Amino acid sequence: MAGTPGGCFLGELLIVVLYGFSIEALPIISMVGTLVDPPATMVNAVGDNVSSMLVSRIRGETLAARCSLNGTFMGLVCLIG
């Protein structure tokens, strides 16, 4: 359900059913999920970015080297000449 907007709602519904909570608990659990989701997404994106930069640094790559492989860098056309 990662990457699907509102996908966590299905997981929250599953938690309510499995743990035997009443259905009235679903809005409260959904509210908590809605509050936690944006920071979790930010941490995930930043972590992916930092780990890729660390791997590039350890391998000794530069932006120019990455662009010269296929002419693009992260979906953008490299204009390094």
Q: Which domain holds residue 26?
A: 8-77
Q: How many CA atoms lie within 13 A of 67 on its CB side?
A: 10
Whether residue 3 lies inside any domain: the answer is no
Whether residue 72 lies inside any domain: the answer is yes
The pair of three-digit structure tokens given for residue 11, joined into one six-digit string: 């997981």
What does the pLDDT read at residue 18?
92
- The percentage of the chain sitting over the pLDDT mark of 90, rounded to a whole number, equals 4
Q: Binning pLDDT at 50, 70 and 90, where does residue 9 land?
A: confident
What does the pLDDT read at residue 80?
46
Whether residue 32 lies inside any domain: the answer is yes
Whether residue 15 lies inside any domain: the answer is yes
Whether residue 33 lies inside any domain: the answer is yes
Whether residue 2 lies inside any domain: the answer is no
Cβ–Cβ < 8 Å for 62, 80? no
Which residue stretches of the chain are H helix? 8-18, 26-59, 63-70
> pTM surpassing 0.85?
no
Whether residue 57 lies inside any domain: the answer is yes
Q: Domain tally for the chain?
A: 1
